[in-house]
Structure 1
Amino acid sequence: MQVEQPVAVNLGSFEISQIIKTSQSQNGLKHSDFQRYRKYCGHKVHKLRKLMKFSHEKKYQKKQIHVERLNDPKMLQVLLFKIENNWAYAMDLKQIMQDSKDGAARKQHHVNKKMAKALKWANLLNNICRERTDERSYQESEAYLNFIKGIYHHERHQWEDALESYIKSRSIYLSLISVSDSLQSVFFKEKVEFLEQSIRYCHQQNNGFILDTIDVIISKMGTKMDIEKTPTSKVAQSEKKDQLIEVDYLGSKYPIKNQKAIYSYRQVEDCQKRIHELQRKTSKTNTQEEQDSILAIYNEAFNNFDECIKVIQKEKSDEKNSEAENLIYTNILSFLNLNKQKFILDRNIILIKNAVQQFDKEDGVNNLEALTTKKAFKLKLIRPTEIIKLCDNLLQVFKQIIEVERQNTNLENYRKLDVLEFHFKAIRCYYVSCVYLANSKYIETLSLLKVAENIVTNSSKKFVDMRDNFVEDYVEESDILMKKIKYLEIKAKLGLVENTTEEETVITEKLADSNLDGKVTNKTIQSLMKEQEQGNKLNVGINRLNSIPIFALPPKPLLAGCKPIQFDLVDEYINYPKIDVQQPKQQAGFLNKFKFW
């Protein structure tokens, strides 16, 4: 029988940077404890070998890495932690050399041997990644190999070779930053900063000019990596898109990697699509059931937003995160909160439109006094105060969103929100005037309607200037609102005239009671009304004067006599005891002998 030969399997992606970053941050390298980290790497290699059943027995026999072993992705981790173990051992020895210079030559030789082992394992890892992993993982292993190679030449004082390796590693990491998400690029940026310091040091040791920049050093070396030759394949990019979601916040993109957060965010997107479909279908009918179904979808979207925010907050609260990662998580959270506020804005606009439609159907403008009765409460009729509350909530949401959109480089959303805020301010002003009209305050209603009219004219001009598709509906609404304002102005003026005629009738009745021989003219009535108004104004002025607090002035200064000077004459005749003179001791009496009494 022929034995089937094992087939080489593609291992997919291997995130070297992520594995190194998590292992280093959790096991000592936050505090530069290389001894703890190398011990961790040794234990990790031993555990992985046991899991793979690839450990050595009592007698050492070198084991070859066959195709079967390479099909297991744990083999890549074994090689990676072998490299990290040797590198950490070398750095630990260098720390010991800095503390004490005894046996420095021997320790330096030991460092060189450890770095040679690390370079050997790095070459093997790079060859396997070239054949078995995707293109992006291979580029990452290539950059890591050049990094280890640079340290190897650095320790041997081979400055030119070290410079070449460092520059190659830096150029690959820069190309990876351009195609990576913000969380992955944090590690690459840290590597680039370390490599730039090493490049400057090696350039100075190689008799280079101290003030040369990185670009000048690279041009002098003539070893620029062609960034176009280090692309990531389309397959890798499509896989990355499936594994995460990139969100755009204030002109920069941030990734959401957690699967729970991705699921809840996609549910939000699905809710948004369903809302748009329902709004298209119900644009003509707009029944109560259809409105309730749209509001139910909005509530579902809010629940999904809350779940997504909880997951991201949990990831942010991890103590192992760096400052750059925490900044990314805060930006993701602010993006989610901003989107939630926009959903709340759309929901509140729908609620206001529905309330206004119901108010118009019930002919609330002509029945404002009836809406204040208990019967209106029982019938659940829409009152102007309810629409005012909805407008207040909406204007608060507008303020929160506009504060964020001001920081955005693209100001289109900010302009739209600014115009919409003016439009809903006019609506609020109109319904506040309705409340004043119901309370027979006609002068206040006319002044409020004048303000609303000015706001509507300004907002309608801005709507016309924008020339956007969404503006057409609001232009029609502003025209309808202007007609309502004009109608309410007429109604308020009629009420004001009726109120003045009532005052005239009261005055005529008073004159009829008085004995003026029936000689009453319009001039006398008007003069009496003016006198009454002047009297009212005087009373108001007096009341205001009485309410002003009057402070008492300070009293006039009074003359007071001087204090008498007193002389102590007795002081001259008193003999005070002196310290120098000792008093004579008193002799003890007879009874002092019997102290026990």
Structure 2
Amino acid sequence: MESITNDIFDGLSNEITVKNDNFGDFGVEIGERIEFPLLVIVKHLQYQNGLKHKDFAQYTRYCSRKLHRLRSGLKMKCGRSKFQKSYTECSDYTNHKHLLLLILLIERNLSSGADLGCGTTKNVNTRLNKVNNRGRLHEIRKLRRGCNLSKLLVEVAKNRCTHRSIVEVQAYQSYILGNYYLKCSNWEKGAIELNKSLKLYQQLKLDVSIFEKFNILPHYNISKLSKSECVQAYDDQIMEMAPLIRLCLYHCKRLDISVHVCDNTVNVLKNNDSFNNSNMKFFYNNKEYNVPISNLEILLVELQENYKAVKEYIPSGDTEKILKLPGNVVIELFSETLMSSTTLRNKIHEEMTKASANNETSVINSCQSNEWVAFESYTKEFNSFVSIERDLIFVFQLMEYFNNPEFYTKLTFLNDEHWVNISHELQNSTAKKINSSRYPEEGVRICDIVNYTVSEISSSNKATHISDLIDILEIVNNNCRSLFLSHCFGQKGKFQEAFVLCDLVKSRLEIKETNFNKIYLDKDGIFQRIITLIKEININVNDMADKSYNIYLSNAATYETIQIKAMDFKNFNETLNDEAISPRVLPIPVKPIMFDIASDFILSPDLSNKIKKNGLVNKIFSKATSKFRLFK
């Protein structure tokens, strides 16, 4: 049987169009309409109840149990005395539970038909090489009933649901029709219906904002799903339809049937299911690129939304708020963005590997190669610059901490004997203001991390606007590191080293406002925020270098005078000493002999018994020491 004709059912394949005039036919106001995310509901029910592992029998049993509970709640069951007719009219379905009832009826027919199809393929008569046509026809009847119910679902959606929900139901109906025609071996109609469903789902995937604005899913007894999970449902459906479309097109080509509607679909599905070009754009090195595949769109949107939340919580010009932010809050804010960029980069590598493994020739060629390289570099640099922004916030907070009057007072009177009690009081007052005690070693470590990140960026990207920003970053970061290091030396009493480092910073303060104007500002706004932080840090560097320079200069001078006085007093005492005229002979520093080291650990032998027996000390000594072989 090459094909099964069904003239009665041909009316179901007619295209359903959405018009505004349809809403007035039923007398329902627009405000009463129901939002109906059909595909997300269906995929959630399927994955939770057996279809994730292709267990159609379990899913059929679940649909029957759920239908029994829904009918009991809606009082649609027959009583003792009379027969109650099931809902067959469009006006009977008025709320969310009625829509869920229709979905379960359709899904039960589809899953039972698929279960029959699996049993049909297993029960093939190998001797006669014939398929059980009775089971195949039974499967087709189940699919036909699902198609009839989908027609009723479209009418209900026109009556009660929003515009987007009607398009969703149309895509679902086209998918069911395509599967029905596929089982009937009507390849042309199957290709047309599946292609129509594919295009509708691709359009619906771009409009998933309803899952954020409205609390829809609890009306259908489904817990709230994230936006990425909802988009993943559309991606799974598109990937599921791709091999079915290819099968229909293969048979159409074999039978010399031209399907003009699916010409574009052939080009899209030629290489891989997921490698369809995306309409989403991104900017890299002042150029615009397309996202290579649509699977990466949602991850890029999630990355941009996370960084947008960071920008809203931490305004770039609000220095007071930045100074009051605890370190844990800063880490938590930036961690989501950094995790999103890492996830996106790993997904890019996974898709690139999948493309080269599944195809004989790599998909990444010619025009797509530039997009892949640019997208991978974009995510890598996005991660690096976001981490630099986070570290610069820590540097700015530390610069403000060490650029306060209490800290400079401590540096000024560091050599005073009475400073110990006063310094503890100042440290406690400073810690109460900033809620933590900080150390200059932290700043040195953070500056080293920034230097490492900057070196990674400079080695991978040689663009002029990147190199200009990196040059300024290196100058400011090295100045901050030198100042933090000078405070490390200063707190240890090494004022000469601290003074030299402050003098070095003062000689390197060459950044002017004109240097920032050369930098190209990116579309994401990361460069602008980094430049704002650099300007604020540079102001603190100038002030901090001047004050620290003067303090360490005076401390170094006083330390030298005290040391010179101590040396003069010591020399005066040495002139009165006799050993100054005839100095004592100092021993030559040599390495210790092994016997000297061993003698500290060897116990002296007990020679009392030997003396009583022999009475000769020399023999006893020789015998006692010969055991240890010390003199050989």
The TM-score with structure 1 as length reference comes to 0.59
* Structure 2 partner of 1:23: 45
Deviation at 1:179, TM superposition (A): 2.9
Instruction: Tell me how far apart the structure 2 counterparts of residues 301 and 203 of structure 1 sit (CA, whole Å).
Output: 55
Deviation at 1:90, TM superposition (A): 0.8
Equivalent position to 1:149, from 164, 173, 177: 177
Equivalent position to 1:388, from 429, 436, 440: 440
Map Cα deviations across residues 485-514 of structure 1 (whole Å, 9 max, x no partner): 542563365357536744763586368548
Pair 1:434-2:490 in alignment:
yes
* Structure 2 partner of 1:367: 413
Contact 1:86 1:114 in 2 (8 A): yes
Map Cα deviations across residues 424-481 of structure 1 (whole Å, 9 max, x no partner): 4233123113224xx2x35533554466557766899976865945544333222223
* Structure 1 partner of 2:538: 475
Instruction: Tell me how far apart the structure 2 counterparts of residues 272 and 411 of structure 1 sit (CA, whole Å).
Output: 24
Distance 1:304 1:115, change over 3 A: same
Distance 1:461 1:199, change over 3 A: same
AA partner of residue 116 (structure 2):
L
Contact 1:182 1:254 in 2 (8 A): no
* Structure 1 partner of 2:320: 279
Contact 2:192 2:259 in 1 (8 A): no
Distance 1:27 1:445, change over 3 A: same
AA partner of residue 376 (structure 1):
I
Cα-Cα RMSD: 5.7
Distance 1:72 1:426, change over 3 A: same
Distance 1:184 1:107, change over 3 A: same
AA partner of residue 486 (structure 2):
Y
Map Cα deviations across residues 44-63 of structure 1 (whole Å, 9 max, x no partner): 12221221122345776643
Instruction: Tell me how far apart the structure 1 counterparts of residues 499 and 328 of structure 2 sit (CA, whole Å).
Output: 43
- Mark the structure with the bigger radius of gyration: 1
Instruction: Tell me how far apart the structure 2 counterparts of residues 24 and 371 of structure 1 sit (CA, whole Å).
Output: 78
Deviation at 1:96, TM superposition (A): 0.5
Instruction: Tell me how far apart the structure 2 counterparts of residues 344 and 7 of structure 1 sit (CA, whole Å).
Output: 61
SS of residue matched to 1:179: coil
Instruction: Tell me how far apart the structure 2 counterparts of residues 33 and 171 of structure 1 sit (CA, whole Å).
Output: 28
Contact 2:228 2:298 in 1 (8 A): no
Map Cα deviations across residues 46-98 of structure 1 (whole Å, 9 max, x no partner): 22122112234577664344566322111111111111111101110111012
Instruction: Tell me how far apart the structure 1 counterparts of residues 439 and 543 of structure 2 sit (CA, whole Å).
Output: 17
Map Cα deviations across residues 246-295 of structure 1 (whole Å, 9 max, x no partner): xx998432699xxxxx9xx99x999758x987939xx9xxxxxxx8xx56
* Structure 1 partner of 2:425: 379
Deviation at 1:120, TM superposition (A): 0.8
Map Cα deviations across residues 216-274 of structure 1 (whole Å, 9 max, x no partner): 744789xxxxxxxxxxxxxxxxxxxxxxxxxx998432699xxxxx9xx99x999758x
Map Cα deviations across residues 320-377 of structure 1 (whole Å, 9 max, x no partner): xxx99xxxxxxxxxx99x99997897477446514521335x6333212238953134
* Structure 1 partner of 2:498: 445
SS of residue matched to 1:53: coil
Equivalent position to 1:253, from 270, 295, 302: 302
Contact 1:364 1:371 in 2 (8 A): no
Contact 1:153 1:162 in 2 (8 A): yes
* Structure 2 partner of 1:204: 250
SS of residue matched to 1:363: helix
Alignment of 1:126-165 (within 5 A): 126-165=154-193
* Structure 2 partner of 1:229: none
Distance 1:489 1:124, change over 3 A: same
Contact 2:144 2:180 in 1 (8 A): yes
Contact 1:8 1:67 in 2 (8 A): no
* Structure 2 partner of 1:13: 35
AA partner of residue 33 (structure 1):
D
Contact 2:181 2:189 in 1 (8 A): yes
* Structure 1 partner of 2:286: none
Equivalent position to 1:353, from 381, 392, 400: 400
Instruction: Tell me how far apart the structure 1 counterparts of residues 400 and 35 of structure 2 sit (CA, whole Å).
Output: 52
Distance 1:489 1:343, change over 3 A: closer
Map Cα deviations across residues 89-142 of structure 1 (whole Å, 9 max, x no partner): 111011101211267111111011001011111122122223322222222211
SS of residue matched to 1:12: coil
SS of residue matched to 2:171: helix
Equivalent position to 2:113, from 67, 73, 90: 90
Instruction: Tell me how far apart the structure 1 counterparts of residues 399 and 96 of structure 2 sit (CA, whole Å).
Output: 58
**Which runs of 5 or more structure 1 residues have no equivalent in the other structure?**
1-5, 222-247, 257-261, 284-290, 313-322, 325-334, 516-527, 533-537, 550-597
Identity of aligned residues (%): 16
Distance 1:421 1:341, change over 3 A: closer
AA partner of residue 85 (structure 1):
R
Deviation at 1:391, TM superposition (A): 2.9
Instruction: Tell me how far apart the structure 2 counterparts of residues 420 and 152 of structure 1 sit (CA, whole Å).
Output: 68
AA partner of residue 189 (structure 1):
D
Alignment of 1:102-181 (within 5 A): 104-180=132-208, 181=227
Contact 1:90 1:114 in 2 (8 A): yes
SS of residue matched to 2:302: strand
Contact 2:147 2:173 in 1 (8 A): yes
Alignment of 1:455-494 (within 5 A): 468-488=531-551, 490-491=553-554, 494=557
Map Cα deviations across residues 145-165 of structure 1 (whole Å, 9 max, x no partner): 111010010010000000101
AA partner of residue 481 (structure 2):
K
Pair 1:79-2:132 in alignment:
no
Equivalent position to 2:68, from 35, 38, 46: 46
Instruction: Tell me how far apart the structure 1 counterparts of residues 563 and 304 of structure 2 sit (CA, whole Å).
Output: 69
Deviation at 1:39, TM superposition (A): 1.3
Contact 2:399 2:537 in 1 (8 A): no
SS of residue matched to 2:568: helix
Contact 2:191 2:262 in 1 (8 A): no
AA partner of residue 41 (structure 2):
I
The TM-score with structure 2 as length reference comes to 0.56
Which one scores higher on RCO, CA 8 angstroms, separation ≥ 6?
2
AA partner of residue 173 (structure 2):
L
Instruction: Tell me how far apart the structure 2 counterparts of residues 170 and 67 of structure 1 sit (CA, whole Å).
Output: 27
* Structure 2 partner of 1:519: none
Distance 1:495 1:370, change over 3 A: closer
AA partner of residue 105 (structure 1):
N
AA partner of residue 74 (structure 1):
K
Contact 1:87 1:118 in 2 (8 A): yes
Aligned residues: 448
Contact 2:106 2:149 in 1 (8 A): yes
Distance 1:22 1:138, change over 3 A: same
Distance 1:220 1:490, change over 3 A: closer
Instruction: Tell me how far apart the structure 2 counterparts of residues 387 and 460 of structure 1 sit (CA, whole Å).
Output: 31
AA partner of residue 152 (structure 1):
Y
Instruction: Tell me how far apart the structure 2 counterparts of residues 12 and 340 of structure 1 sit (CA, whole Å).
Output: 44
